[in-house]
């Protein structure tokens, strides 16, 4: 058993922010983890149909036994579910009227999806799914679901809050350094057998002394700010809720009440806000024009927060000196997506929150919530996105 698996079997972790530090602590629950196939009692005795939509592991599926976030890994819960008589359909086929997801909508009780290969659960699909009780996100971010339609239909929506916040915050820090040090041209020179120091050095800077602002300072934003502190940056944050003043002082971050006032101060801007009706398309041509010329932008939140063409244009004309992220709209991104071809980008597929460590955590969280659902018990309150017809506050 690997150390990662052992860790997952001991804890389902939640990142908790205190006035002293951000610590990782075990949740006070009896966790049934994805690699522990011990049966738990199904109180109602009712057999459920669960549909999981994940990306395919293909030839990589056998390379790591902890690779549970793919179709082949199936979150490691197949044996556990089937031992209780439940039906578990797992697929990557999710688009169009003839997809496997569509064919299984009509009698599905639970749909599990991830932000990395999202199953778009529209109002139309919710209307077809007469038996649907529960929509689970294996990870964080449920904007692939029509939340208002789910609420109106009395369907519970939940995600594994905190499961991959460390993974995403670490990735954001990496992207900041990649952009500010102009890393990618040097890598490409190495691959192509070239040696042109000037082609890299003319736009490579130190992170120390730069001003970094995060748009959103929830779990991920706080972790990023904490990780940036040793770099001696000037740290700013904009959020609808001000963080605890003790933590704010410890991190050394300054609260900005006005986003438009913060943007021109920043050398680096990191997007850490959820996708809501208020943030969709927030960074349009006008908003980007308020940023400092030569700004670097990192976005691991959601692609639709940005105006796609406005970002591409700003990178092309040099107003944005570099853009990096792993979120696109739509996902998967089509081959002709303009972000693939804009200059000075460091884009990747949506991977930041699906490290092996994160997979084990969100798989354990999904299993715990399914177990509670079968028992008729509530989930941890912070996991709910829609409960009893009400949306979580950040989505209202």
Position 40 in a domain: no
Mean pLDDT of the chain: 90
User: Do 125 and 61 fall within a single domain?
Assistant: yes
- Interval 267-284: pLDDT, tens: 999 999 999 999 999 999
- Interval 95-148: pLDDT, tens: 999 999 999 999 999 999 999 999 999 999 999 999 999 999 999 999 999 999
Known binding-site residue numbers for substrate: 140, 164
Position 221 in a domain: yes
Order across the sheet with 156-159: list the strands.
87-91, 49-53, 110-113, 134-137, 156-159, 384-387, 390-391
Known binding-site residue numbers for NAD(+): 219-220, 239, 274-278, 300, 326, 350-353
Residue 176 contacts residue 298 (beta carbons within 8 Å): yes
Known binding-site residue numbers: 140, 164, 219-220, 239, 274-278, 300, 326, 350-353
Alpha-carbon distance 241 to 17, whole Å?
Answer: 14
Position 322 in a domain: yes
User: Do 86 and 126 fall within a single domain?
Assistant: yes
Q: Is 289 helix (H, G, I), strand (E, B) or coil?
A: helix
Tokens coding 243: 């963080």
Write the DSSP string, 192-254.
Answer: TT---THHHHTT---STT-EEEEE--SHHHHHHHHHHGGGT-EEEEE-SSPPPHHHHHHHTEE
Tokens coding 34: 């994805």
Alpha-carbon distance 331 to 126, whole Å?
Answer: 20
How many domains would you assign to the chain? 2
| Catalytic residue list | 164, 302, 331, 350
Name the residue with tokens 């522990």.
36
User: Do 122 and 80 fall within a single domain?
Assistant: yes
Question: Quick one: pLDDT at residue 363?
Answer: 98
- Interval 360-377: pLDDT, tens: 999 999 999 999 999 999
| pLDDT at 37 exceeding the cut of 70 | no
User: Do 272 and 324 fall within a single domain?
Assistant: yes
User: Do 220 and 325 fall within a single domain?
Assistant: yes
Position 26 in a domain: no
Alpha-carbon distance 314 to 321, whole Å?
Answer: 8
- Interval 226-256: pLDDT, tens: 999 999 999 999 999 999 999 999 999 999 9
Q: Which domain holds residue 60?
A: 47-160+353-393
Position 310 in a domain: yes
Question: Quick one: pLDDT at residue 10?
Answer: 42
- Interval 297-311: pLDDT, tens: 999 999 999 999 999
3-class SS shares of the chain: helix, strand, coil, % to 5: 35, 20, 45
Name the pLDDT band for 45 (thresholds 50, 70, 90): confident
User: Do 219 and 335 fall within a single domain?
Assistant: yes
Position 100 in a domain: yes
- CATH number of the domain where residue 369 is located: 3.40.50.720
User: Do 227 and 358 fall within a single domain?
Assistant: no
Question: Quick one: pLDDT at residue 9?
Answer: 43
Question: Quick one: pLDDT at residue 137?
Answer: 97
Position 283 in a domain: yes
Beta strands in 22-98 (DSSP E): 22-26, 49-53, 87-91
Position 3 in a domain: no
User: Do 103 and 244 fall within a single domain?
Assistant: no
User: Do 294 and 326 fall within a single domain?
Assistant: yes
User: Do 78 and 59 fall within a single domain?
Assistant: yes
User: Do 203 and 327 fall within a single domain?
Assistant: yes
Number of C-alpha atoms within 13 angstroms, CB side, residue 268?
29
User: Do 227 and 257 fall within a single domain?
Assistant: yes
Domain closes at, from 309, 327, 345: 345
Question: Quick one: pLDDT at residue 286?
Answer: 98
Tokens coding 2: 């690997």
For residue 239, how far is the Cα from the chain centroid? 18
């Amino acid at each position: 058993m690997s150390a990662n698996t052992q860790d997952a079997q001991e804890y389902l972790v939640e990142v908790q922010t205190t006035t002293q530090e951000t610590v990782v602590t075990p949740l006070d629950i009896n966790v049934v983890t994805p690699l522990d196939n011990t049966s738990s009692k199904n109180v109602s005795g009712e057999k459920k149909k669960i549909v999981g939509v994940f990306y395919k592991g293909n030839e990589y599926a056998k390379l790591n036994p902890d690779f549970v976030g793919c179709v082949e890994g199936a979150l490691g819960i197949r044996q556990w579910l089937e031992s209780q008589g439940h039906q578990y359909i797992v697929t990557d086929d999710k688009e169009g009227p003839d997809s496997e997801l569509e064919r299984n909508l009509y009698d599905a009780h639970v749909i599990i999806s991830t932000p990395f290969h999202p199953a778009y659960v529209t109002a139309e699909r919710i209307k077809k799914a007469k038996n649907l009780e529960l929509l689970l996100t294996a990870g964080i971010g449920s904007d692939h679901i029509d939340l208002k339609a789910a609420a109106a239909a009395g369907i519970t929506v939940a995600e594994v809050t905190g499961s991959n916040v460390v993974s995403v915050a670490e990735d954001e820090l990496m992207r900041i350094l990649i952009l500010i040090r102009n890393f990618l041209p040097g890598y490409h020179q190495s691959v192509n057998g070239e040696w042109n120091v000037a082609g890299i050095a003319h736009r490579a800077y130190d992170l120390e002394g730069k001003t970094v602002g995060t748009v959103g300072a929830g779990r991920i934003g706080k972790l990023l700010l904490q990780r940036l502190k040793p770099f001696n940056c000037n740290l700013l944050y904009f959020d609808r809720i001000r963080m605890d003043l003790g933590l704010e002082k410890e991190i050394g971050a300054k609260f900005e009440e006005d986003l438009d006032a913060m943007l021109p101060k920043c050398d680096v801007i990191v997007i850490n806000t959820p996708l809501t009706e208020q943030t969709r398309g927030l960074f349009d041509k006008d908003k980007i024009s308020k940023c400092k010329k030569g700004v670097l932008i990192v976005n691991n939140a959601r692609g639709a927060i940005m105006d796609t063409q406005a970002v591409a244009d700003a990178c092309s004309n040099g107003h944005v000196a570099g853009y990096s992220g792993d979120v696109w709209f739509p996902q998967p991104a089509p081959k002709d997506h303009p972000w693939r071809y804009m200059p000075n980008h460091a884009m990747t597929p949506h991977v930041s929150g699906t490290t092996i460590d994160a997979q084990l955590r969100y798989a354990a969280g999904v299993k715990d919530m399914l177990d509670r659902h079968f028992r008729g018990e509530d989930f941890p309150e912070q996991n709910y996105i829609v409960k009893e017809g009400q949306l979580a506050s950040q989505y209202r």
